[in-house]
A = this chain, B = another copy of it.
Amino acid sequence: MSTSHPSPQDAEDAYYDAIDDQDLEAMMSVWEESDETLCLLPMMPAQRGTGAIRQCWEPFLQGDMKFDIEIKHLSWIESGEIAIHLVEERVKVPGQGEPQSVYASNIFRKGSEGWRLLMHQNSPTPPPPGLQMPEMG
Contacts and interface: CB of A to CB of B under 8 A. Distances in A.
Contacts of A44: 126
Nearest to A43: B126
B43 A134 contact: no
Interface string A66-81: 0000000011010111
A84 B118 CA distance: 10
A112 to B, nearest CB: 14
A48 B80 contact: no
A134 B45 contact: no
Given A35-B134, A123-B123, 20 more contacts: A36-B77, A38-B75, A38-B77, A40-B103, A42-B123, A45-B125, A45-B126, A45-B133, A46-B86, A46-B131, A46-B132, A46-B133, A47-B132, A52-B133, A79-B80, A79-B81, A80-B80, A80-B81, A82-B82, A123-B124
